[in-house]
Structure formats: structure tokens, C-alpha cells
Chains A and B, each alone.
Chain A
């Protein structure tokens, strides 16, 4: 899957999870930029991303995936 395709899919997931249609993700977006992105939301995000992309994250990746650029890299690697 091409990087911009991943961004597209990820963007939709973020909008659903945070119920905010104005979210536009960039490689620089981090948990600090989205108000509700706390540890609870992180679990929801991880689960939905796993389902949508058909991949599995490792335990160690949950806390480290706090910025979108890194997330996209990890997703691309697991494809």
C-alpha cells in the first residue's frame, strides 16, 4: 500500500475515533495536537488500525506510536 493511501485510510480512522471531521493528519501530527488523544484513545486507535489494515502491533509499539509519521512507517512495514 502506498504511503498516501495509508494516510488516507488513517485519516478516516482518526476522524471516526475522535469524532472530528476536521482532522488532517501529517507526518508531524502527535498526541499533543489532538486534544482527546490520551492513553484510552490510544488503545481504541490501535485496535481499529489493526482491524482496518489487517495487521497486529506488538505490546512495545502501543506506547511508542504517539506520532503519525512513525505510525505510518510501522504500518507500511507490516503490510
Chain B
């Protein structure tokens, strides 16, 4: 079945038992029924059970303004607002021509007030489409020099939407303009569908829009790609290093080396945004590393990689080893290899790893990988930039580990220092990101947006603590957090207890628990209550509360503070807490 829409329609009928459920409201100033179908179908392809509330045609403001509306009653996790450029043009035409230079401000202002209204009434994330390009050609290209022309206003609106969304932690832009430019206008827009049915684009374009929305939803759920594993020969350079030698491989000016240079530059950008890079190659280690060390035209260097595996084992086993070393989920890996045999082997042995079907021509590698759009982010912080360095420090730590007699000696020798602070302006983005990304050491897996974390930090009903850790090999940054909810005078409930897996087995969990107990005591509570909500990924903490001395009853765990025996750790607390 070639038609993507039909394919998605079929996916929609999949059995969704066990899928994660997401409630999604869809509103538009155009017909949205087909889009609603696409969301359900694409969701099912990613093991999401998307329950859709599809609002009636052109009811956005009525639903948003009325606090008792079906929209709010649906209690969505996410609200998708689709605005079409045809309606925008109609409004523009009604706008007095002498004021058209200000049209963009009114449009963006209206959207902003809608978002605010939704934010005040609902906890939902908002996904807002921007506008595809459309020009009435009334001025021809001269429209670029007429501030009041439609195309001029349209482009300003798209920029205005970017700025407004950037200023809000609850709004994500769905870049319809980008989708249109990728497809081309004639594939994107089907005039008869709009004319007869008010469908603002072709079904093919609707599929892309739906896929884009689901990518954002998945990022919000923390289902993100964290690492790209690359093959070397004919993937990072043209030719085979073992046969062609350092001067024979195509990179830079030689042959089609430019294709590999641009791919490497792109990977370096991904690294800069916090995606880990790793090598998995069938080669001798020394041969494989030689170009990175000695070839001037190589963009990537050895220290750009968080893991480097070159041997003659099968790739699936090596990928498993890399996954274990980096301590991230199999489903957060992307594997890039020019060899169809290797791709298929990895796909069949490790179905959770994403393996793009690279085109034959290396010149097409990069455009294809960009088209795959695998790296939708949900937040961006300074720590993302330093992630590879953090993992590199972790490697030195593991080497040091093997030199110590006992693990305790090793921990002591690490000279670990932790700082504990309530959430503050500096830590809130990272705290929100941890709640969104952490899957394994996460007791309840409640995802919070930045806005929600800010609200919790400001509330008297909660106590919060963010933990940073450093040791003699480097600074780990913010690696753990707790959110404690005051329930009555005596009971403190552990709403969230999350720790980054890269600091496992250091005594950090014990340190955090000591701190929770200290906090509870300081504020006069007598009991701590915790809960473990099982997911596919957090089995490692299933026994945490039992091990910490809590008593289990009916799915919750309780600890009388009077009974708590302080755990010993090798972690010093930084006294004044300044970082």
C-alpha cells in the first residue's frame, strides 16, 4: 500500500492494549477530521494510544473562552491548534489597507492570549501550527519591499509565533512552513480539498503534520533519541581505511569526500545539542582511530565520541555493549550504516534501535537523515552541550575503578561532593528536563513542564530539592531531584524521586534519602509516604523503598521518621551550597 494516509488509517486499527495513553484535543479554523485520524494512526505506530477530541469546525475561540466547554472537560494532555493560511488571508483582506503593516501584531497577540487562556484553565501542552507560505502575487516579488503586503505580514507572523512560543514553556510550534518547503507547494496544497471541504492541505501533507505533532508528543513524554552510533567505512568517509589507507579514503577534497564532510559537520552539531556520538565498526581499533587522529580533513575527532568500538564482533553485540556503557535505553539509539546487511541484522536483533534506510548515494545521506527528523527536542540547556564530556569523565572513572582494591576504596577516592538546593530559577529548566527524560531511576514517572515546576517551586504545599554532584574527575551537574508534597501535618508524600543513571552505584540514592528525611524532620513531619508506579523501564527502583527501610502496604510505602537509620555514604555535602 503506497499511500501513506491509507497506511496510517490501517495503523489506527491496531490493538492498542498496553500502549501509553495520551489525550489530545484538536482544534482548527479548518476541517480537522482527517488530521485527527492521522494522529491516532501515527500514535499507534509509536505504541501510543491517542484519544482524540476533535472539535467542531472553526470553534477555537468559543471553546477556549468558555471555561465550561467540552475542550476543558476533555482534560487533554495536549491541545493541537491548526490554523490555515487561507483563513488568515481572508482576515487580512478585511483589514483596513492603511493598517495592514500592523496585522501581524494583532494575529500574534490573539494567539498569545488564546495560549494564556488555555494555560490558565488547563494543564495541557499546546502545539500550535505556524503558517505555510502563500503569496497572492498582487505585488509580485516587490511584495518583499511592501511592509503591508500579505507575504510580508505572513513571514512576520511566523517569526512572531517563534518568539512568543520561545517565551512560553507550554507552547510548541508545529512547523508547517518547513513541511511545505520540504514537499513543495503543489504537493502540499490541494486547492479542491480546501474549496470543497475546507481541508487546508493534501492528505499527504496532513500525514506529515500529524507525524510532526506525534514527534513533539513523544519528546514531551521523554521518548527521545540520545545517541547516534555510526559505522566508519563508506559511512564516515568514502572507501575502506584498512584497504585504502589514510591517504586513500575520500574525505574533504578527495572524490566525493565533501558528502562525508557535511555529514560529519551535522553530527558535530547534534553533539553540540547533547546527542551522544558513538562508533561501531568492523575494524582493528588502531586502524579505525587513525583517520580521527591523523587526517586533517576529518571534522570529528576522537574526543567527540562518548564510546568507540572497533573489533570483529557482530554489530548487534557491540551496540548492546555501547548501550550498556552509556547506560541509556535501547530505544534512544540511532544506528547509521551504509551496509544493508548490517542494517537488517541490527534491525532484527535489536528492534528498538532506529536504523535509517540510508540511500545508496553518499551525497544523499545527510539530506535523507535530516528528512528523517529523529531528534525532536523538548528543552535545551547548557548541560546538553557538555553531555559528551560528562560521559568521557565517566569512562576515566571506570578505568580508575578497576585499579582500586575494593569498591568502597574507590568511592572514597572519588572525593564526591554534593550540593542540595530547593528548585530555583537556575535549576528549573534542568529539573523539568530530568522529569521528562528520566525513565529508569524514576519512582513515579510524572512528567512536568517548566511552568509546572516553577509553580511547584513557588507553592507552600511542596518541599523541593535539586542535587548536584561533582568528583575529582569532573562536574556531573544536576543529577537528582525530589518533590515532596505536604499532606496534612504529619505526612510528607514523595511525589517525585528521580536520579540520573550516570551516577548510579555511588551511594547517591542513600545520600538523597538521608536528605529527604532531614528535610521532613526540619519541617516537623513524622511520616514519609512513597509510591512506586511500574513502567517498562523503571524496574531498577522497584525495591528501592523496601531497601531503604520503608514498610509496604497496598502499593504505597511508609516510613516513620523515628525509625530511620541514617545511611552511610562517601559523599560530602557542600556546606554553603553555592555552586
The reply on A2 being an interface residue by CB < 8 A is no
Interface size on A, residues (CB 8 A): 16
Chain A residues within an 8 Å CB radius of B193: 43, 47
Which residue of the partner chain, among B1, B191, B196, B202, contacts A47 with CB atoms under 8 Å?
A: B202
Q: With A43-B203, A51-B2 in contact, do A63 and B9 touch (Cβ < 8 Å)? A: no
The SS class assigned to the B binding surface is helix
The residue of chain B having its C-beta at the shortest distance from the C-beta of A56 within the complex is B192
Chain A residues within an 8 Å CB radius of B1: 16
Chain B residues within an 8 Å CB radius of A57: 192
The reply on B33 being an interface residue by CB < 8 A is yes
Task: Please state if A40 and B5 are interface contacts (CB–CB under 8 Å).
Answer: no
The reply on A1 being an interface residue by CB < 8 A is no
Task: Please state if A48 and B192 are interface contacts (CB–CB under 8 Å).
Answer: no
Chain A residues within an 8 Å CB radius of B6: 16-17, 44, 48
Expressed in whole angstroms, the Cα–Cα distance for A59 and B193 within the complex equals 7
Interface size on B, residues (CB 8 A): 21
Task: Please state if A59 and B199 are interface contacts (CB–CB under 8 Å).
Answer: no
The residue of chain A having its C-beta at the shortest distance from the C-beta of B7 within the complex is A16
Chain B residues within an 8 Å CB radius of A39: 197
Shortest distance in angstroms between B351's beta carbon and chain A's nearest beta carbon?
A: 26
Within 8 A of A (CB), among B491-520: none
Task: Please state if A44 and B203 are interface contacts (CB–CB under 8 Å).
Answer: yes
Shortest distance in angstroms between B319's beta carbon and chain A's nearest beta carbon?
A: 37
Task: Please state if A63 and B2 are interface contacts (CB–CB under 8 Å).
Answer: no
Chain A residues within an 8 Å CB radius of B3: 47-48, 51-52
Chain B residues within an 8 Å CB radius of A43: 34, 193, 197, 199, 203
Task: Please state if A19 and B192 are interface contacts (CB–CB under 8 Å).
Answer: no
The reply on B13 being an interface residue by CB < 8 A is yes
Shortest distance in angstroms between A66's beta carbon and chain B's nearest beta carbon?
A: 13
Chain A residues within an 8 Å CB radius of B73: none
Task: Please state if B9 and A44 are interface contacts (CB–CB under 8 Å).
Answer: yes
Expressed in whole angstroms, the Cα–Cα distance for A16 and B3 within the complex equals 10
Chain B residues within an 8 Å CB radius of A19: 9-10, 13
The residue of chain A having its C-beta at the shortest distance from the C-beta of B10 within the complex is A19
Chain A residues within an 8 Å CB radius of B202: 47
The reply on B399 being an interface residue by CB < 8 A is no
Task: Please state if A63 and B34 are interface contacts (CB–CB under 8 Å).
Answer: no
Within 8 A of A (CB), among B193-224: 193, 195-197, 199, 202-204
Which residue of the partner chain, among B5, B190, B196, contacts A44 with CB atoms under 8 Å?
A: B5
The residue of chain A having its C-beta at the shortest distance from the C-beta of B193 within the complex is A43
The reply on A24 being an interface residue by CB < 8 A is no
Chain B residues within an 8 Å CB radius of A76: none
Expressed in whole angstroms, the Cα–Cα distance for A9 and B197 within the complex equals 26
Within 8 A of B (CB), among A12-55: 16-17, 19, 39-40, 43-44, 47-48, 51-52
Task: Please state if B196 and A59 are interface contacts (CB–CB under 8 Å).
Answer: yes
* Chain B window 12-29, contacts with chain A (Cβ cutoff 8 Å), 1 for yes, 0 for no: 010000000000000000
7 more CB-based (< 8 A) A-B contacts, given A19-B10, A47-B204: A16-B1, A17-B9, A39-B197, A40-B33, A44-B5, A44-B9, A44-B34
User: Which residues of B are interface residues toward A (Cβ below 8 A)?
Assistant: 1-3, 5-6, 9-10, 13, 33-34, 190-193, 195-197, 199, 202-204
User: Which residues of A are interface residues toward B (Cβ below 8 A)?
Assistant: 16-17, 19, 39-40, 43-44, 47-48, 51-52, 57-59, 62-63
30 A-B contact pairs sorted by A residue (CB < 8 Å): A16-B1, A16-B6, A17-B6, A19-B9, A19-B10, A19-B13, A39-B197, A40-B33, A40-B34, A43-B34, A43-B199, A43-B203, A44-B5, A44-B6, A47-B3, A47-B5, A47-B193, A47-B202, A47-B203, A47-B204, A48-B5, A48-B6, A51-B3, A57-B192, A59-B191, A59-B195, A59-B196, A62-B192, A62-B196, A62-B197
